[in-house]
Structure 1
Amino acid sequence: MKARVKWVEGKTFLGESGSGHAVVMDGAPEAGGRNLGVRPMEMLLLGLGGCSAFDVVLILERSREPVTDCWVELEAERAEADPKVFTRIHMHYVVTGRGLASAKVERAIALSAEKYCSASLMLGKSAEITHDFELRDAAAST
């Protein structure tokens, strides 16, 4: 895997992935940025959410669970002093489907956290990561 990050101006950077996608990153105004893009540490949090949600949906689909929607809401705390690593991250999954089995959703989240999500396993070295979830019935929301 390869990536490239290029300084644009001020505190703005353009990140380009090896797969050909790009994202703008910028610093907060108090750090000299102009708020033109996602903060680099926010990118880490987004990566964690994306990695885990991908796993959860894939595991549920392979288990033949009728999942129709999934998202993860993340809240993180960082250390006060440099390096300001994440110290706590809470992940709240919202999974929608028709008659989803709660135990299978719980298992999919656990498998992601403990075995498959590389981002979770790496960030778990410095942060306490907790999870919870809620199920929503797709039939009720139509």
Structure 2
Amino acid sequence: MKFQMKENGFETTFEYGTIQISGNEEYGFRPYQLMVSSIAVCGGGVLRKILEKKRMTVTDMTVDADVTRDPESANKITKIHLHYTISGEGLSEDKVEKAMVLAQKNCPMAQTVIDSVELTESFTIV
């Protein structure tokens, strides 16, 4: 990956388009937003695959991320709580709970931060 400095941040181009990144959200995505997005989407994607391998159909999923940051320590991310709202067929509380544990263990983004960010998860089946 290559990031090019611009007047108000950095820019990079991937297969699906160009991303503007800046500490000021008037000019692009903030770095912490990209980090939280990576963790939430990775977790949701792995969870979906696991549920489908266990013969549960996922027709829709949203992931809400609640982020806690420490202003006394460079505003670092200290906690991320992910709440999955899942709809589909054959979903049971017990199986989804077990799949969430397995998903966190198999999500590379979660595993990257697990020793420095408190990562918790919950879910609702609709």
Normalising by structure 2, report the TM-score: 0.89
- Report the AA paired with residue 116 of structure 1: N
SS state of the match for residue 3, structure 2? strand
Task: Report the Cα offset of residue 98 of structure 1.
Answer: 2.4
Corresponding residue of 1:16: 13
How far did 1:84 drift?
3.1
CA distance in 2, matches of 1:4, 1:108: 35
Residue pair 2:47, 2:99 contacting (<8 A) in 1 also: yes
After superposition, residues 102-141 of structure 1 pair within 5 angstroms as 102-113=93-104, 115-136=105-126
Structure 2 residues not aligned, in runs of 5+: none
Q: Give the superposed CA RMSD.
A: 1.7
1:44 match = 35
Structure 2 residue 22 is the aligned partner of structure 1 residue 26: yes
Unaligned runs of 5+ in 1: 29-33, 137-142
In the aligned structure 2, how far is the partner of 1:44 from the partner of 1:16?
A: 17
Deviations 1:30-88 (A, max 9, x none): xxxx6122101110000001110110111111111011011211011112234432111
Greater C-alpha Rg = 1
Native 8 Å contact 2:13 2:19 kept in 1: yes
Give how far 1:21 is off: 4.3
Aligned residues: 126
TM-score (norm 1): 0.79
Task: Name the structure, 1 or 2, with higher relative contact order (CA <8 Å, separation 6+).
Answer: 2
